Amino acid sequence: MIIKRWLFCLIGLVLFVTICFMGLLLSRIFIWQPIVVEGHAMEPNFVANQHLIIIKKTQIERFDIVVAKKQGSGNILKRVIGLPGDTISYDKDTLTLNGQVVDEPYLKDYQEKFATDKLQSTYHDNSFFQNIAKKAQAFTLSADNKATFTIHVPEGQYFILGDNRLVSQDSRQLGTFTKKELIGKIKFRAP
C-alpha cells in the first residue's frame, strides 16, 4: 500500500514537472524571448551586454523599445518613434509628430552632453564616434546629415530610431519596418 502511494506521488511529481517544463518551453517559443543588447545604438538607456526580455505578438505603441529584424543580418534594438500614417519632423533636435511638438526625455542626458561638448567626453574611448559628433549640427540628423527633416511613415510601417542618434543605424538608413519585422517589445530588464 505504501509503495503504491509512493509510486502514485512519484508519477504525479514527474507529470507536474513535465507539464511545467513544456509550458515554459512553449511560452518561450511563442510568448517571450531573451535578448542581449549589442553595440552602442541605445546608450545611455540600454548598454552593451545588458540582458532583456521581449514579449512577442503584442501591441506596439509609440516610444516602445522593440527588437526588429534587420534585413540581411540579425536583429536590432530601437525605439518606436513613428506609427503607420504619422508625419515626423525634426528641427534641431525638436520632434514634431503630426503637427504636435513632443518631448523626448529619454534623450535628455546625451542632448545636454552634445550641447556642452558635442559628446567628446562621452565618446572619449572611440575616435570614430567623436569625429561623427564633431561634424554634427544636431543630435538627431537625417540619413544625409541634415538637422531639419520630415518623414512620412507609410501605412503598415513603423519608424524606429536608436537613442544614441549620432551612431545608431535605424529607419533613417534602413527604411521603415512592418509589424511582422518587429519581433516584440521590451518588458523586463535583467538585474
pLDDT score recorded for residue 7: 80
Number of domains in the chain: 2
Q: 79 and 6 in one domain? A: no
Q: 158 and 93 in one domain? A: yes
pLDDT score recorded for residue 1: 67
Grid cell 552602442 is found at 40
Domain range for residue 21?
A: 1-30
Q: 8 and 47 in one domain? A: no
AA identity, residue 122: T
- Residues 148-178 pLDDT 10s: 999 999 999 999 999 999 999 999 999 999 9
State the alpha helices, DSSP H only, in 96-163. 108-117, 127-135
Q: What is the mean pLDDT of residues 11-40?
A: 84
- 92 versus 190: which is more confidently predicted? 92
Judge contact between 61 and 67, C-beta under 8 A: no
Q: 59 and 15 in one domain? A: no
Q: 111 and 48 in one domain? A: yes
Give the rounded percent of residues in the chain with a pLDDT score beyond 90: 74
Q: In the predicted model, what is the mean pLDDT of the chain?
A: 92
Q: 140 and 97 in one domain? A: yes
> 98: how many CB neighbours lie within 10 A of its CB?
12
In the three-class reduction of DSSP (H, G, I as helix; E, B as strand; rest coil), residue 54 is classed as strand
Q: 125 and 79 in one domain? A: yes
Q: What is the mean pLDDT of residues 134-140?
A: 96
Q: 54 and 4 in one domain? A: no
What CATH number is associated with residue 83? Answer: 2.10.109.10
Cα separation, 2 vs 14, in Å, equals: 18
- Residues 67-99 pLDDT 10s: 999 877 789 999 999 999 999 999 999 999 999
Q: 44 and 18 in one domain? A: no
Q: 7 and 88 in one domain? A: no
Q: 76 and 65 in one domain? A: yes
Q: 180 and 95 in one domain? A: yes
CA atoms in the 13 A half-sphere facing the CB of 23: 6
